[in-house]
Structure 1
């Protein structure tokens, strides 16, 4: 199957580093004109220089933009329309976390997490929908999380935002179907980033985490990019209002590690 995204225009939020940065790189390799949004100007400048230096890379823009600021988002979308004439894809990747038990979690941390992860997704969608309706096409792809499926202790703020993003995506998909616009969410599992530090944890702690996975390895930004490119393509035209689990089969069975014990054992009867 050939996923052809060449000539499309995509906005990616939270694109200065981490998964968002790699999503911009991947989309650019697929021939997409990328518009990278982030609150960090230095990160965007470095990304822009990298894209410009890449041979055959399509045109790109980098703009400092806070996803909690509707006026800034609307202005950026208008600039994109003035320059490129359309907006084909929106990837709502921007996100923050807030860690701690509910009884001790600062209210400002709770509000910040919801403002960026949930309200930021709402506002970015609000900014692009008029253009997508006018062209009667569009792909909105929202970053949820495996935490929306099974939350972690002391991460109630983050989990609640990501569960809300999944349901928001379903509701929005219903609203936008008549205009040929699809809305989907994806749920990454354990992809090491500077935000979570999975790959820097002690070996024993890493093993405990990896033991929860059916495909026993860390997720990669390439894994996420594959799903995002598919959802942004014509091949996904009949998929909308869904949450795609990209977690390596986390807790697909109660104890995924047992399968690896069986695979290593000369006598499966020894495995409990």
Structure 2
């Protein structure tokens, strides 16, 4: 859980830097999958610094996924929005209201409940069908993102954010389905799902932050990277809470995600930035 929370700190700080950088980048082609937009954004030091933090966060996320259930890691990653809110308040001089500070407190309380209720990670290996389904989901995310880039305004941001979150969710599940890092992993569909899902997540999130409502994009991101992977972990991989504490895990997950959604607007920097 310490690694999961540290990962959330990295992701939350990176999102502030990347949101500012993408808004200062020339518009892309209109497609949600726009590598040229990513190349232009990464030339800015803020975006590059954000990528560095994302890389560190990803390593910490993998360590966490190998030790605790997916639902616990997903909720911790959703809390990155609380980190974003605090960082935005400090670096961008955004003033948080009492309600918003209450949402930050709710995220922290939800994570504390999950930490108390979480059992060890499940011991089911995951079927071949699940691995192929994961790869198919990663491909579908790319196709959806390419189409969503042409939607208008808020719908565009929401769908791109949801697709991006789903791509990152594919990564969360894929880590659990890869047994080792030997050459044998090259025959595992989950390995390619991890690469494709991660790449799709970054490309779509960059497009979502560049234009439209960042609030809608970050809300979709939270939903995409928490609910689906958590369900897969419980149903397919055997993730379970401690005996008698299932209610606390459900309550903590609900409170943490609800608090994160309430803070979704802090993915968006002020216009003057």
Answer whether TM exceeds 0.5 for this pair. Answer: no
**Larger helix percent:** 2
**Larger strand percent:** 1
TM-score (norm 2): 0.30
